[in-house]
Structure formats: structure tokens, C-alpha cells
Amino acid sequence: MPDEPLELGEIAPSDHHVHHATMAEAGFLAIARRLPALIVQAFGMAWEASPRDTVTTVLLNLLGGVVTAFGLLATTGVLTALFSEGPTPDRVLAALPSLVLVGAAAVVRTLLQAGAGWAEARLSPQIERASEERLYTVTSRVELVAFDDPEFHNGLERARGRASGVASWVVSAAVDVVTSLISLAAAVGVLGVLHPVLIPLLLLAVLPDAWAAVRSARQRYSTVYGLGPARRRKWILAELLADRDPAAEVRAFTMRRFLLRVYDAVARAEQEEMLKLVRRQTLTRLAGNALGGIGSAVVYVALGLLLVLGAIPLAVAGTAVLAIRSSQSSLSSLMFTVNSLYEQGLYFTDFLRFCADAEGRLIPPRPLPAPEGFDRITADSLTFTYPGAEEPALRGVSVEIKRGEIVAFVGENGSGKTTLSKILAGLYEPDTGTVRWDATDLRQVSPEDLRTRTAVIAQDHTRWPLTARYNITMGTDKGEPALLSAAAVAGADKVVDALPHGYRTLLDRRFKDGHELSGGQWQRIAVARGFHRDADLLICDEPTAALDARAEHALFERIRTHADGRTVLLITHRLASVRHADRIYVLEHGEVVEQGDHETLLALDGLYADLYTLQASAYR
């Protein structure tokens, strides 16, 4: 119904006062304290990306500041000569040496700025690559359970959305801050030489702008931080409206209007918060500009009084005006850059914090290598709870798998079958309990090493936008015979034979010369992927979900033939497929309630017999 209230879940933007812990660090003094550390972090990343370009950028900017100071001091000589007594031609001739120095300083400064800009431009793409590499290195290594944690996803979205651009921009802004500080120091040094009282007067002109800049940045970050869930929801809805995979179902169920309505509700909530932000920032900037104008007027009135009182000569006053304008320009640039650096630095800090949090979720190095096979896998008293879940997914589960056996996990949806298989595959770590390959406790083994000994054929397998070859080999290089053998066992060879470029065919129609497969064809490719691994433990999680009855029967026959001394763990709802398993574990509500072979479980007349009889009756 068009007027039906929408259940939008976690999209309500947080009020900008909610994030007390974060925003308590966003005051002016806090910024001043954090800015050096932020600049150090930015230059640290720049140094890792390219030491040569980093040194070149800083050095050329430093030399540019020195030349700026030299040019201002040379200007004093020009004005002194022009304002002295005597004929005008004589005064102009007397000013010529200083004018030459001023011109030379301008040329040298322009060349130094060009060189610094060139080095900084080279640095930017290198930092982008380094930051993206750091982000995706940790996200690809972090424990799988992290992706079941909403807080991890919030942090990931903030980091991924701004990672490369912000890291590069923060370094650029840090360079600009250093450049502005050098120029400011040069101008202030000249003012100090001319008359010390001019230095504190500058504060009157810039402090209001500094306050407005910091407050504006604080307001924006707080709003964007609170809009995180809403923006993530909007991005997901945009994918549903524009992505290829859901396109057919969106049309089949005529969901376009509904999705657009939900998208509009989320977008309007975001828009309202951004309009409030614009109003708050405008008022803040108006106040800062007004107070800054008053401060500038006071500075020039004070300079006029110094001239009237004879505290400084006219030539020095002229140089002071230029130095004050240069100082104000440098201060204005500095405050703008500091404002932007601080605002973007908050997101940069989000990126660094996420990377640190993700690195904290990595499993530390473990002392033992993965065992060279096994005679027996034993899982003892396993418990596991997903992040944020109130009830555990597994409760004291114990199973045993012997080498060469075909073992099946069966049970209704939500019984814990897949969770248990992921623990056995080293994808999840149990909360309590142990998994052993023979006498080796897997908590002492690197999960990545263990995963080279296991293979998983998943129901929700990934359709990689790669060639057919890479969709089977997954980047491993075992040679052509291993590829052809795995494809033949899975029945994927017939799928590949029908492709226009064989194993070199790109399996993604979104690209030129790409080809798309049916669900059943993709299932065969995924099965070949598992067989190609040639692992000690093969886990088949609903491997026939997309296959027709004939193909399903043929696949299970291939799995039994392919097992031949290998160990297979089969997870399926189709109980007719597990009749020949050596052992069947029946799970319910995260517990093993029955175990045995097919005949034993039927004789128990329990849950397995009930489910098997129910399925069998459908075929009578």
C-alpha cells in the first residue's frame, strides 16, 4: 500500500550531539594537540609510499618559504629607496638592485612551487595504492566471523568509502599546512623585525576564522558520522535497483515502485540532516566572517596609530602592510587547510582505526604447521555464537570423522550444520571446545595453512568475474591435467566445451566477450573448483541445490567415486543422497540429537526417520 508505514530499520540519522566520545576530541585545543600527530601519520604513509617524492615535496616547500622571507625583506629596500628624499630618477635607480632581488625571489619561488607540485602530484597515486592495499590486505585476512558483526561493517563502510581518496588528500593537506606554516613563519619573522607589536595584532584577524572553521568541520563530521547506517542502506538499495543479479526478480515481483519508495524515504532522511547541517554551518561562518572583519579593521587602525606616533617610518609601514597581507593570506590558507585537514583527518582517523581494529581481529602467528593429512578428525564440545546473537548456533557439539569416510550432516534450517562445517574447515573459531586432526589441536595451527588442506563446495558459491579456468583453479597452478580432471569429475567439462573460448571465456556478461552460465552450469563449475583443490577434507554444502534430478544423481555418484580414500563431509536436505554415508549426524537447535548410519537412524524412529519418511512420501 502506498501509505503503509515503512519498516526501515537502522537508518535514522543520529543526532549530532550523540557521539560524545568522538566529538569530545573535536574542540579547538584538541585539534591543536592532534594536528601534529595527524601530520606525522600522514607523512608516515607518504614515506611508505615514496620516500623520494616525500622528501622532495617537503624540501622544496621549505626552500620556498625561505625565498618568500627574502623577497619581503628585499621589498623593504625598494620602499626605503622610493620614499627617500631626492629626484625621482635617482630614487628609482637606487631601488633597482632591491627590485632585481624581489624579481629573482619571485621567479625562484615560482620554480620551487612548480617542483613541489610535481613531486606532490607524483605522491598522490602512490598513496592511494598503498592505502587501498593496506585496507584490502586486512579485510581479506580478517576472521570470517567479523563479517557477521554490524560494527565491523559500519567501520568497513566508512573506511572503504574514503580510504584511498582521504589518505591521499590528508597527505596533500598536510603538505599544504607545512607550506602555509613556512610562509607564515617567514612573514611573521619579517613583521617581528619591523615591529614586534604587529605580531599579536594578527591574532585578532584570524582567531574568529579559526573558530568558525573548526566548528564547521565538527558539525559536518558529526552529521556524516551519524548518517553512516542510512548511507549504507541507501547504497544497498541502489545496488538492488541498478545491479544485474536482482534485476529479474525486481521486475518479476514488480518491486520497482516499492524499492524506489524505500530509497526515497532513506534519501529524504539523509537530505533533511544535510539541510540542517547547511543551516548550522552558514550561521557559524557568518559569525566568523563578521568577527574576522572587525579584527582586520583593528589591525590597520593600530598600524595607522604607529605611523602617526612615529613608531615606524613610512617605508617600513609599507613593507608591514605587505607582510600583514601576506601573513593574512598565509593564515587564511592555513586555517582553510587546517579545517579541511581536520575534517578529512577525522575520516582518515576512521580509516586508521578500522585498519587497526581489523588487524586486531587477525589471528596471531601459530607455532604448528598444518598436519600432513589425518587419520581422524575429532570435534569435542564445540560452542559458537554469532556476534550480536542472543542464542548460540552450536551447543556442546561433538563429532568424529575418519579418513576416507563420507560423513553427512543433516537437519532442518538453522540447526547449525553449515556453522559446524565452517569450524571444521577453519573458517570459524569455536567459542569453546577443540577440533583436532589426530593429536594436533587446530588452535595451534595457522588457519590459512589449514585451509590449503580443505575444500568447500558451497551452495552460495561466488560467481567470479574471471575466466572459466580461474573459476576452477582459483589462481593455483597445478597444470592442465589437474584442471581437466577436476572439470571432468564435476561434469563441468561439457559446460566449458560449449563456451566460445573454452577455458579462456570470461564468465561475466557485463564485459565485452563475456558469457553467462545457468545456475546448474555454475554449480558444476563450483564443484570442479572443490575437486581441483584435491584436499584432505572435502566439504560439500548443498552441492546439488541448482541441479536437476538426473544431474544431482550423477553428481553424487561422482562424489562417491571421487572420494576413493578421501574424506567427504556432505551437508544436504535431500536425505536420499546420504543413504550411503558411513555416518550421519542429525542436528537440531545447535545440538547433535542422533548419529549413526542410514539403517540405524531409521530404526531409532526419531527426527531423521521422520524427515526421511516425509521426503520419501512426496515421491509415492
Helix axes 88-141, 51-82, angle to 10 degrees: 160
What per-residue confidence (pLDDT) applies to 343? Answer: 66
Q: Count other C-beta atoms under 10 Å from residue 296's C-beta.
A: 17
Q: Do 209 and 274 belong together in one domain?
A: yes
What per-residue confidence (pLDDT) applies to 542? Answer: 78
> How far is Cα 287 from Cα 131, in angstroms, rounded to an integer?
38
Q: CB neighbours of 365 closer than 8 A, spacing ≥ 6?
A: 446
Q: CB neighbours of 230 closer than 8 A, spacing ≥ 6?
A: 11, 12, 13, 266, 269, 270
Q: Which amino acid is at 603?
A: A
What per-residue confidence (pLDDT) applies to 330? Answer: 67
Residue 468 lies in a domain: no
Residue 39 lies in a domain: yes
Rounded to a whole number, what is the largest CA-CA distance in the chain? 124
Residue 406 lies in a domain: yes
Residue 15 lies in a domain: no
Q: Do 371 and 272 belong together in one domain?
A: no
Domain-terminating residue out of 360, 395, 419: 360
Residue 399's SS3 state is strand
Q: Do 267 and 402 belong together in one domain?
A: no
Give phi and psi for 55, each to the nearest 5.
Answer: -60, -45
What per-residue confidence (pLDDT) applies to 434? Answer: 93
What would the grid cell of residue 419 be?
Answer: 556453522
Q: Do 289 and 395 belong together in one domain?
A: no
Residue 430 lies in a domain: yes
Domain-terminating residue out of 340, 360, 380: 360
Phi-psi region of 572 (alpha: psi -120 to 50; beta: other; left: phi over 0): beta
* pLDDT, averaged in runs of 10, over the chain (620 residues): 52 40 51 72 82 86 76 67 66 74 84 86 83 84 83 78 66 74 70 68 68 74 76 81 78 79 84 88 84 76 74 67 66 69 73 84 83 89 89 92 90 88 88 91 87 83 86 84 88 89 87 83 87 86 68 69 76 80 91 91 90 76
The pTM for the full model equals 0.66
Angle of CA points 277, 281, 285, to nearest 5°:
175
> How far is Cα 420 from Cα 402, in angstroms, rounded to an integer?
16
Q: Do 428 and 306 belong together in one domain?
A: no
Question: Are β-strands 394-402 and 537-541 bridged in parallel, bridged antiparallel, or unpaired?
Answer: unpaired
Residue 491 lies in a domain: no
Q: Specify whether the CB–CB gap between 520 and 549 falls below 8 A.
A: no
Q: What share of the chain is helix, strand, coil (3-state, %, to 5)?
A: 65, 10, 25
Residue 545's SS3 state is coil
Q: Where are the beta strands (DSSP E) in 465-582?
A: 537-541, 567-571
Closest CA to 276 of 15, 9, 22, 26: 15
What per-residue confidence (pLDDT) applies to 15? Answer: 39
In CATH, what number is assigned to the domain containing residue 411? 3.40.50.300
What per-residue confidence (pLDDT) applies to 59? Answer: 85
Q: Do 293 and 391 belong together in one domain?
A: no
- Residue 618, class by beta-carbon neighbours within 10 Å (0-12 exposed, 13-18 middle, 19+ buried)? exposed
> How far is Cα 255 from Cα 236, in angstroms, rounded to an integer?
15
> How far is Cα 26 from Cα 345, in angstroms, rounded to an integer?
11
> How far is Cα 381 from Cα 435, in angstroms, rounded to an integer?
9
Residue 51 lies in a domain: yes
> How far is Cα 50 from Cα 171, in angstroms, rounded to an integer?
12
Q: Count other C-beta atoms under 10 Å from residue 158's C-beta.
A: 22
What per-residue confidence (pLDDT) applies to 365? Answer: 84
> How far is Cα 353 from Cα 138, in angstroms, rounded to an integer?
12
Q: Which amino acid is at 420?
A: L
Q: Do 114 and 154 belong together in one domain?
A: yes
Q: Do 150 and 280 belong together in one domain?
A: yes
Q: Do 196 and 130 belong together in one domain?
A: yes
Range of the domain at 273: 20-360
Question: Are β-strands 432-437 and 376-384 bridged in parallel, bridged antiparallel, or unpaired?
Answer: antiparallel
Q: Do 356 and 432 belong together in one domain?
A: no
Helix axes 28-49, 314-360, angle to 10 degrees: 70
What per-residue confidence (pLDDT) applies to 420? Answer: 92
Q: CB neighbours of 285 closer than 8 A, spacing ≥ 6?
A: 212, 216
Q: Specify whether the CB–CB gap between 139 and 358 falls below 8 A.
A: yes
> How far is Cα 130 from Cα 124, in angstroms, rounded to an integer?
10
Q: Do 268 and 227 belong together in one domain?
A: yes
Domains identified in the chain, total number: 2
What per-residue confidence (pLDDT) applies to 317? Answer: 65
Q: Which amino acid is at 484?
A: L
Q: DSSP letters of 111-159?
A: HHHHHHHHHHHHHHHHHHHHHHHHHHHHHHHS-GGGGG-HHHHHHHHHH
Residue 441's SS3 state is strand
Residue at grid coordinates 602592510: 321
In CATH, what number is assigned to the domain containing residue 102? 1.20.1560.10
Q: Do 298 and 337 belong together in one domain?
A: yes
What per-residue confidence (pLDDT) applies to 1? Answer: 44
What per-residue confidence (pLDDT) applies to 22? Answer: 47
Closest CA to 555 of 488, 612, 490: 490
Residue 519 lies in a domain: no
Strand ranges across the sheet with 583-588: 454-457, 537-541, 567-571, 406-410, 583-588, 591-596
Q: Count other C-beta atoms under 10 Å from residue 397's C-beta.
A: 23
Q: Specify whether the CB–CB gap between 49 and 127 falls below 8 A.
A: yes
Domain-terminating residue out of 345, 360, 375: 360
